[in-house]
Chain A
Amino acid sequence: MEPLAALAQVAYWLVLTAVFLGAAELFLYVLLKYYKVKWFWPAQLLLAGLAVYAGARLLATPVEDSTAITMAWEQGAIFGGVLLATAALFKYGVRGRWTVALMMLAPAFIVVSLLVVYPFFFEFRLAFANLNLYTIGRWLSGEDLGFVGFDNFVKVFTTSPLQTATFWELLGRTLIWTGVNLVFHVSFGLGLALLLNRKIRAKGIYRTLLILPWAIPQVVAVLAWRGEFHPQFGFVNQLFRMVGLQGYNWWSDPVPVFMSCLIVNIWLGIPFMMIVFLGGLQSIPNSYYEAASIDGASKWTQFTQITLPMLRPVVVPSVTLGTIWTFNNINVIYLMTGQNGGNEYADILVSALYKSAFTYSRYSFSAAFALIIFAILIAVTVIWMKVSKGTESVIA
């Protein structure tokens, strides 16, 4: 599509969304204002009927011959049902309270529901169907999705999400990936922050240069690194050769491929930790150290007894963030290994999910795989929240 045609189309969709959200606000206003009137339910039923038709028509399969359009009654019914449920909730539950709050919340709530909640349920539907490269055509031309039970979930554990790597290998590699990255990010980040926190000249210049890996767009950084790992012309192997070593085949040997991804991601992640820790260090009052040195505490004692405990409020959230980011990091691995003739030596769960869905087109399988990854993430998050109690302060 031409950029200009695409612009016109995006304008059309913006207007459509605005009209839809406006209609929703109006609907809400009526629900909040007229929940007591006699004609409430007749009006709602009429509206729901219209919504079923409109929803079915809007999501209908586009076919060139307009008489053959397959109406999406299923989706239309969901739409109408949602309207009726909302009406009931507002008539018997809300009863005209919190008008301003609910109306302000509504647009974002609706958009998030459409973009996050609905896809999530649709993913469940997909996971129990048998949609792949061969059946997609039939589904798009209006055939039902079908139902295969838990087949896909079983397959995730018994067959490879990629070509040879099994689920357990991917899981193990994800744990190694997350662990190794975090250890290096935190230790190097803390080390550099401690150095930068000293009374030292040219601090600003060091800080700016050290933050570079974070400032460069990730795509540029990773692709540039990929070039540096080129077995023949890349800088890394040239360095090896300079000291008389053979070097590694970073692009195609299993261990070096994973190593190169690790190195790149460690390089990318250090500045964030450094800056966060530096902020934490600067907030520790100098008088603590002065008092400690008057009492005769050594530098090491000061570090373990003052610096580390005082850094805790900074460390806990940033390590949480770091874990989530690293676990979910797909950019580095995909950009390093996912190109033509790519390999799967470095794949972790999320990058394998991406490849199995969009490289190998195993849609239903990937939906099941995604739900399993999702379950793992939720479990880890819940455990971590219990351990760190890090969220209470934010919600309260």
Chain B
Amino acid sequence: MSTKKNWWAHILLVFGCVVSAFPLLRVIGVSLKPGDRLFSTEMELIPKEMTISNYVEVFTNTGFFTWLFNSLVITVLTAGIGVALAATAAYALSRYKFPTRSSILIFLMATQMIPVIVLLLPLYFILKRLGLIDTYAGVIAAYSVTTLPFCVWLLKGYFDTVPLSLEEAAQVDGLTVVGAFWRVVLPLSTPSLAIAMLFSITQAWNEYIVARVVLQSSDLYTWPLGLFELQGDFSARWGMFAAASVAVTVPVMGVFLYSSRWLLSGLTLGSVKG
């Protein structure tokens, strides 16, 4: 196939790229516009008078860094707890053929098909009863509803691919079953643990709907809640919304583009929820 025949493919691809990149470019453009220019109906992407005043405003006059801090705490704890609890369970499910094993696996898969929203209402009341509404702990518990079964499922798939002979060799050399898991299987599965971690992180970091219900005081807002607040009164703070969006998106996008390859290999290994 000669490359000359590909001009129409290039046209289509360029068009696709423009459509997919356009909203982000617009947001960057708006974030750099001075406040009084936001509602002009000019369509230029790069504003004629550029200013970083929107960024300064967001960083100094809103809870931007508090939101980031809250998101960070919640994300790190959700991912950590999820992976720590999931690793041992996934190993047991992968290595031991005890009765009810397959029903547990089917149950775990079923939980992936049910949206968290179906369980959110009873969970809300349980959290309320325990005094966990409007706390980090409440959000982390609510996020674990999805991330924990999901991590178990994901890690089980990976442990299945670790050859059993390695642990047998370790046990011959005097390690206990738990020792072999800790010293041999876990170090070998670092990449898969990282993927499970990354999945939980993206899930918790970008979540909006559950956080909206569980978190009520603005001091505990995660960044999606804060962003929504900024965009809520569209007229006044559109520029600040855009600046905050760019500040949040660029690092996340970097991580995502860098890791998308591995994320995808994880997806095909039997995980269901995104």
Contacts and interface: CB of A to CB of B under 8 A. Distances in A.
Contacts of B125: 122, 126, 363
A374 to B, nearest CB: 5
A100 B96 contact: yes
Contacts of B170: none
Contact of A325 (B241, B253, B274): B274
A72 to B, nearest CB: 8
A120 B111 CA distance: 11
Contacts of A62: 131
Which residue of A1, A209, A219, A353 has the most chain B CB atoms within 10 A of its CB atom?
Answer: A219
Contacts of B152: 108
B10 interface: yes
B255 to A, nearest CB: 9
A7 B95 contact: no
B10 to A, nearest CB: 7
Contacts of B13: 192, 195-196, 200, 206, 210
Interface residues of B, number: 112
Nearest to B118: A370
B252 interface: yes
B257 interface: yes
A339 interface: yes
Contacts of B95: 101
- For chain B, what secondary structure do more than half of its interface residues adopt (helix, strand, loop), or is it mixed? helix
B23 interface: yes
B178 interface: yes
Contacts of B209: 330-331, 334, 354
A272 B157 CA distance: 21
Interface residues of A, number: 104
B264 interface: yes
Contacts of B241: 223, 227
A115 B127 CA distance: 10
Contacts of B92: 100-102, 104-105
Interface string B1-42: 101001001101100110111011011001000000011010
A217 B122 contact: no
Interface in B241-258: 241-242, 245, 248-249, 252-253, 256-257
Nearest to A274: B16
Given A10-B140, A195-B9, A201 B3 contact: yes
Which residue of B19, B128, B252 has the most chain A CB atoms within 10 A of its CB atom?
Answer: B19
A39 B41 CA distance: 83
Nearest to A328: B115
B66 interface: yes
Interface in B159-216: 177-178, 181, 205-206, 208-209, 212-213
B20 A271 contact: yes
A227 B22 CA distance: 13
A220 B245 contact: yes
B135 A212 contact: no
Contacts of A220: 27, 227, 245, 248-249
Interface string A218-239: 1111011111101001010010
Interface string B92-126: 11011010001011101111111101111111111
Given A216-B24, A276-B268, 7 more contacts: A9-B137, A116-B111, A195-B12, A225-B23, A230-B234, A330-B117, A339-B228
12 contacts: A3-B70, A9-B135, A10-B137, A62-B131, A120-B122, A123-B118, A198-B1, A200-B10, A201-B10, A218-B208, A220-B248, A395-B102
Interface of B: 1, 3, 6, 9-10, 12-13, 16-17, 19-21, 23-24, 26-27, 30, 38-39, 41, 43, 66, 69-70, 73, 77, 81, 85-86, 88-89, 91-93, 95-96, 98, 102, 104-106, 108-115, 117-126, 128-132, 134-137, 140-141, 144-145, 148-149, 152, 157, 177-178, 181, 205-206, 208-209, 212-213, 217, 219-220, 224, 227-228, 231-232, 234, 238, 241-242, 245, 248-249, 252-253, 256-257, 260, 264, 267-268, 270, 272-274
The 4 tightest CB contacts between A and B, nearest first, are A108-B89, A101-B96, A328-B115, A119-B122
Interface of A: 1-3, 6-7, 9-10, 13-14, 59, 61-62, 97-98, 100-102, 104-105, 107-109, 111-112, 115-116, 118-120, 122-123, 126, 140, 191-192, 195-196, 198-201, 206, 208-221, 223-228, 230, 233, 235, 238, 242, 267, 270-272, 275-276, 279, 314, 317, 320-321, 324-325, 328, 330-331, 334-335, 339-340, 350, 353-354, 357-358, 363, 366-367, 370, 373-374, 377-378, 381, 391, 394-395
